[in-house]
Chain A
Amino acid sequence: MLRRKFLTGLIRWAKVGFWGALLYPVFAFVVHKVPRLPVRIRVRATPGENDILVESDFFLFPDIKSPRAISRTCTHLGCRVNYSKENKLFICPCHDSRYTLDGKVIRGPAKKDLQEFLVTFSKEEGYIVELDA
């Protein structure tokens, strides 16, 4: 009786092992992340023409000497924050987190400030913003 119980248990675990050995490589293949290069976005804008340029992934403050690009991704849950001209704030439309124009969080639920991207300016290429991969 004990031997039968042991063998039944062994066969059951062997089945689990078999399916695990079969499914793990498939799972590892599916979830593997292929590395991507950082994205460089070129923005052609006349300096001083606009205070803030609203791009798809960032806000650009077009200043020749110290241009700044602040991410539009809310640090709470990743929604795209929008620019409220009336309040001079960045507001997340999903959960109403609010940020100053420097990207500092002033009202939650977000707890972290908006990310700032590296941005350079040259007369030939305009503004180049480097986003994370």
Chain B
Amino acid sequence: MTMLKFKFGDIALANLLVSLMSGLFVAYQYDYTAAYSSVITMDNSLPYGAFLRSLHYYSSQAFFLFLLIHVGEYICRGVHLNMPVCSWIKLVLTIPGAILLLFTGYILKGDIVGVSAGRIAEQLVLIIPFIGDALNRFFFSLKHDGLYRVYFNHALVLGLLCGWALWSHLKKRAIKGHYVLLCLFIVFGICFFCKAPLDAPPTDAEVMLVKGPWFFLGVQELLRYFSPLWAGIVYPSIIIVLLLLLPVSSKKYNGFLLSAIMLFMISHTFLTVVAFLR
């Protein structure tokens, strides 16, 4: 239980701030009309380009990881039970917002993984009944507009939406604790020794297996066996719906919801491992 005394939210927030700052600098040299070549140039030709891109990459990954741990920590402590439903809904909706931020970042790399991830995301969103086309036009529209909308959403819209959802949670919050500094120190250290990954160019015709981003691997695996609607839309939505229902359910059903969340996490971890080992 001593682990719970760590403020994982503070670590997540510190990483988010580093990610935002580094993203701002990366945006100066990034060109969405020639995504892959601009990333290659950044990595190999620009002074400190590889470091700044790595910093953006690893701090974003750390933000997402600690965000998930922070949500788990809240549920373990039962904070959601004493929180206004509206505030809880806003906080839960930052999870798909953060996933979209990470996912659009992967697409913007412009390598074979990014391009494939983008194409899959576009097709999955289009499958959603009634609103799929509008959602795709809003978030991706890769086939029609290239990377423009994805870039615009990654750099501005999604950040603003997440900021709005998190505002009441974060305002007047000061980041404290030596462990936050230690965590940032580790992230900076990783950036010095380990360059952010970049896969083969999108036109590489030799690649016979593409693995998506780590948080998408489970869904990618499931998409091999089930229809895109069930595997790509319904399955990942389950966890969000369960989290949304937590504060409004009675105590009797709270245990059931928590068991369902655990079951989802186990199944997703299993699928991710299977996909990783391919």
Residues of A within 8 A of B (CB): 27, 30-33, 36, 54, 56, 73, 76-80, 82-84, 91, 93-96, 109
Contacts and interface: CB of A to CB of B under 8 A. Distances in A.
Contacts of B124: 77
A45 to B, nearest CB: 16
B243 to A, nearest CB: 26
B208 A84 contact: yes
Contact of B123 (A30, A32, A78): A78
A82 to B, nearest CB: 5
Interface string B188-202: 000000000000001
A4 B26 CA distance: 55
Contacts of A56: 203
A82 B224 contact: no
A77 B144 contact: no
Among A54, A79, A80, A94, chain B packs the most CB atoms within 10 A around the CB of A94
Given A56-B203, A79-B210, A84-B208, A31 B137 contact: yes
A30 B120 contact: no
Contacts, number: 63
Given A30-B138, A33-B137, A77-B120, A96 B205 contact: no
- Secondary structure class of chain B's binding surface, majority of residues: helix
Contacts of B138: 30-31
B204 to A, nearest CB: 8
Nearest to A111: B227
B274 to A, nearest CB: 13
Given A76-B228, A77-B124, A79-B119, A36 B144 contact: yes
20 contacts: A27-B134, A30-B137, A31-B138, A33-B137, A33-B141, A36-B144, A54-B205, A56-B203, A76-B223, A76-B228, A77-B124, A77-B223, A79-B116, A80-B115, A82-B205, A93-B210, A94-B223, A95-B224, A96-B209, A109-B223
Contacts of B116: 79-80, 93-94
A95 B223 contact: yes
Among A54, A77, A91, A95, chain B packs the most CB atoms within 10 A around the CB of A77
A18 B119 CA distance: 36
A84 to B, nearest CB: 6
A73 B137 CA distance: 19
Nearest to A108: B224
B122 interface: yes
Nearest to A86: B208
Contacts of A30: 137-138
A93 B207 contact: yes
Given A76-B223, A93-B209, 8 more contacts: A33-B144, A76-B228, A79-B119, A80-B119, A91-B208, A94-B223, A96-B224, A109-B223
A128 B203 CA distance: 20
A12 to B, nearest CB: 15
A24 B26 CA distance: 34
Nearest to B136: A31
B225 interface: yes
B220 interface: yes
A78 B120 contact: yes
Among A30, A93, A96, chain B packs the most CB atoms within 10 A around the CB of A93
Contacts of A76: 223, 228
B120 A79 contact: yes
